Structure 1
């Protein structure tokens, strides 16, 4: 084995080791959040559950809050991928806008730790990842250009969407999110975007989407490291 090959082998081995350790941290955090809630878990709890030496956690995340932000980013990344698969082909852009938002709410609400993380992080940072922001910006711009929605401020419209999502996730964590709540939120959201009422009613009455069999946190853990 040449020196270059040996160096490449060491690099790949180190990267694989870091990816495994990172996956252990995320898995331990999700499991503990599920059992206790994010407010009752500490860095030491996660480190112990992941089988790490004292201080090793900080080789991956500077603080507990940084871990939550990274987990939120991974949630957003997975949701964005799934939205692309299910809804990029929907021709009506107003319908696509609500379908994407509704799917995100339902998918996250189906996995309590993910909902807790986003409820804590979204008010601090808004769009959780560049990919999420770019996708939302692109889809809303297309909807505006086509006349499917009308809004004087795309930025405020996007913030309104994040607010609707946060409100619905709050309700899900309290056990109060119903199909009627979701339809009411969708109608409010679409009407605020200038969608004619009859059309908005038709859109929000569309059947709820089926959720993937793999829980959201499982999809995140099994996805390739970014």
Structure 2
């Protein structure tokens, strides 16, 4: 009786191995960058932490900028996409803004490695701006257009939001986070964009829907 053909093609196994190796490099880079900062991590340190040969890095990435982009995409872009899905059907622009900010703070509390990576990536790094900047500007602009927010300049408000977010993430990661830190942050930012204090408190303390799976 002839043996059955293998259901796993060699090419499939090779592709999985490549994906696993790439994931190891990204995980090692993320951990080191969260600990030290993006610019303080060398490529050899990344391959050592991933337990791979130094030359392996260049089979997957051309430079440190490339792996920073990959880490940011894996760590931040996927989270941003989840926020987009969560808020897509929300009718109140203030709730959209608040829910996104609250989940960002909660993510840092529950996943400190993620939080430190975002903090140390920094507001000035183009990858963070490229991923979250358009989303923040979009939500602020929609709030202005609907009359929910009063903002003299969208770009300045976006910069203020980023600066406040990173400072708040640093605070909750460096100290014992205050109870309901996510609500306090969202309430403060809603006041910044012109929502009255009593209404900002109401919106920021609404039940927070969980992020969608996947």
* TM-score category (smaller protein): 0.7 to 0.9
* Mapped partners of 1:127, 1:146: distance in 2: 29
More displaced 10-residue stretch of structure 1: 113-122 or 60-69: 60-69
Give the RMSD, CA atoms, in angstroms.
3.3
**Structure 2 equivalent of residue 80 of structure 1:** 80
1:178 equivalenced with 2:178 (yes/no): yes
TM-score of the pair, normalised by structure 1: 0.73
* Mapped partners of 2:133, 2:13: distance in 1: 34
**Structure 2 equivalent of residue 144 of structure 1:** 144
Which of the numbers 14, 35, 38 marks the counterpart of 2:36?
A: 38
* Mapped partners of 2:108, 2:137: distance in 1: 21
* Residue-pair matches, total: 204
Q: Deviation at 1:180?
A: 4.6
More displaced 10-residue stretch of structure 1: 65-74 or 199-208: 65-74
Which blocks of at least 5 consecutive residues in structure 2 are unaligned? 1-8
Which blocks of at least 5 consecutive residues in structure 1 are unaligned? 1-8, 220-226
Check 1:159–1:135 CA distance in 2 against 1; reply closer, same or farther (3 A cut): same
Check 1:186–1:31 CA distance in 2 against 1; reply closer, same or farther (3 A cut): closer
TM-score of the pair, normalised by structure 2: 0.77
- 1:134-213 residue pairs with structure 2 within 5 A? 134-208=134-208, 210=210
Runs of 4+ in 1 over 6 A off after TM superposition: 9-15
**Structure 1 equivalent of residue 97 of structure 2:** 97
* Mapped partners of 1:53, 1:151: distance in 2: 52
* Mapped partners of 1:195, 1:209: distance in 2: 21
Does the 8 Å contact 1:122/1:162 carry over to 2? no
Partner SS state of residue 152, structure 1:
coil
